[in-house]
Amino acid sequence: MESIVKTARRVVVKVGSALVTNDGRGLDEAAIARWAAQIAALQKMGRQIVLVSSGAVAEGILRLGWNSRPTRLAELQAAAAVGQMGLVQAYETHFSEHGIRTAQILLTHADLSNRERYLNARETILTLLDLGVVPIINENDTVVNDEIKVGDNDTLGALVTNLIEADVLIILTDQKGLYTADPRKDPTAQFVSQATAGDPVLETMAGGAASTLSKGGMITKILAAKRAQRSGAATVIASGREERVLERLAGGEAIGTQLNAVHAPLHARQKWLIDQLRPEGTVHLDAGAARALLENKTSLLPVGIKFVMGEFLRGDVVGIVAPDGTEIARGLVNYASSELQLIKGLHTEEIQKVLGFENQPEAVHRDNLVMIAGGFDEARHSA
């Protein structure tokens, strides 16, 4: 098997905290120098590279003299603010040795859930890449809370991959790749060199977080690969301890686990809709409406809505839920939650009588809706 990275032009590389901070013993300047040298080599091959780097919180914890990762949000935010200074300075220093400029981009889920900010972030990153600059991306941990955070940099890497339509996501970790079971606990565990992103079997193989520094683990990497395939991108999970791992992958060498994307990529608006980690609310359907959406890819009319949960405004992203509780679609809603509460179950001609106006006959138009039931195949074929 030849690595898919060999033919990739635009690559997102995610580096975990353990690799950047030498397992929590402070920023590993030698390792950061090696990442810079390898990415510089890939640039010379004509590749565009975006680096998603963990390490700010871990570095901040060390600088503040704390012995463990705090649990209070304010302390985590403080650690991120302190650590981000050293992290960015280290990258800027080592990339400049190769004549490469870097740019810091801090994102939250709120940035990616707002359509205008999403497009602004996309244009900024693509412009930086065209200028030969390496964007260094991290979650904006100094301001995030549970409502607006992405949660882990594996997920962030996948979201950025979809955002800029990268060809491949490389997740570098302190593990060789994916095994059929945790090799630290099961001596019969077999290494998985290649599989299909989104295969449910992979999620049963993945274990929990590997270290106290990391918020993720193999499961977040498997889910990131599942998410990245929405833009047609494959994912490689490999050990960052491997010598010249990025250059060897770019040369075609098979290293780590390669998770291939098998579905055609979603359209840009569909990717944005399905990448919303937390819809503003949910709209619950009767059986007939759910069947119409799944089988005929129709618009959602108010008559098919049984009840509404959450508070949202016109134009917000909502989850669309079948009677069995399964989320089958995401869409941009044409009515606020308070309005849908009044017109749910009503026919189109009754809307104006109740509300005094009619925005649209549809609660969600099919052009602003993406199916997610049945995996990405449904989404791929939706309007």
| 116-133 per-position pLDDT tens digit | 888 899 999 999 999 999
H or E element that contains 248:
helix 245-250
User: For residues 299 and 48, what is the distance between their CA atoms, to the nearest angstrom?
Assistant: 39
Strand-pair category, 168-173 with 10-15: parallel
Highest average pLDDT, of 105-114, 153-162, 261-270, comes from 153-162
pLDDT band at 146 (very low <50, low <70, confident <90, very high): low
The pLDDT assigned to 381 comes to 36
Phi then psi for residue 329, to 5 deg, are -160, 165
CB 301 within 8 A of CB 348: yes
CB 34 within 8 A of CB 278: no
Average pLDDT over residues 283-302: 91
What share of residues in the chain are helix, strand, coil (percent, to 5)? 40, 20, 40
The answer to whether residue 80 scores a pLDDT higher than 50 is yes
Q: Which of 225, 247, 270 is the last residue of a domain?
A: 270
The pLDDT assigned to 145 comes to 57
Q: Which of 229, 249, 270 is the last residue of a domain?
A: 270
The answer to whether residue 374 scores a pLDDT higher than 90 is no
Same domain, 212 and 318: no
* Confidence (pTM): 0.79
What CATH number is attached to the domain comprising 341?
Answer: 2.30.130.10
CB 206 within 8 A of CB 219: yes
The answer to whether residue 258 scores a pLDDT higher than 50 is yes
Same domain, 45 and 193: yes
When the pLDDT of each residue in the chain is averaged and rounded to a whole number, the result is 86
CB 57 within 8 A of CB 80: yes
User: For residues 73 and 12, what is the distance between their CA atoms, to the nearest angstrom?
Assistant: 28
Same domain, 165 and 225: yes
The pLDDT assigned to 24 comes to 67
The answer to whether residue 310 scores a pLDDT higher than 90 is yes
Strand-pair category, 327-332 with 369-371: antiparallel
